[in-house]
């Protein structure tokens, strides 16, 4: 997996090689997290979903996921 980050944005994500086991498409497509070398802030990355330690609704405001949702005009 190769993740290209330019100017704080994820500009390209490409798979360099698949695991050898061809038995499951979903497993093959199950990606591996790639360390982000450059600091990515909320608005700058083309990230849609954020995984983190369990967030309460009260603490959600101002989180990365909240910022993405706001930018997408969430209801």
Partner 1 sequence: MNTYVLNVMNLPFTIMVNSISKDLKIEKTVKTIHGLLIDADRRFSPFKANSMVSRFQHGDHDVLSDEDFQEVYLKTLLAQVETDGLFDPFYSGVYDPTGVVKGWIVETAFNQVLEPLLRTGQVTAAAINAGGDMIVSANAFQTAWTVGIENPCDTHHYVAAFPLRSGAVATSGSSKRGEHIKRALHDIVQSTVIADSLVDADVWTTALFAASRDDIPHLIAEHTLTAFLVTDSGQYQNYSHGTLVDASSISSHDKEFWR
Residues that bind partner 1 (CB under 8 A): 1, 3, 10, 13, 15, 19, 26-27, 29-42, 45-60, 63-66, 69, 72-75
Smallest distance, Å, CB 5 to partner 1? 8
Cα–Cα distance measured from residue 75 to residue 72, given in angstroms and rounded to the nearest whole number: 9
The Cα-based distances of 41 to 6, 9, 33, 34, 36 in angstroms read 13, 9, 17, 16, 11
| Closer by beta carbon to partner 1, 6 or else 74 | 74
| Closer by beta carbon to partner 1, 6 or else 54 | 54
Cα-only R_g, the chain: 15
Smallest distance, Å, CB 42 to partner 1? 6
């Amino acid at each position: 997996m190769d993740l290209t980050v330019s100017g704080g944005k994820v500009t390209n994500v490409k798979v360099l090689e698949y695991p050898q086991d061809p038995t499951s498409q979903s497993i093959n497509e199950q990606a591996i997290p790639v360390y982000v070398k450059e600091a990515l802030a909320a608005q700058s990355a083309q990230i849609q979903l954020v995984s983190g330690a369990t967030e309460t609704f009260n603490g959600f405001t101002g989180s990365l996921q909240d910022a993405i949702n706001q930018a997408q005009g969430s209801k």
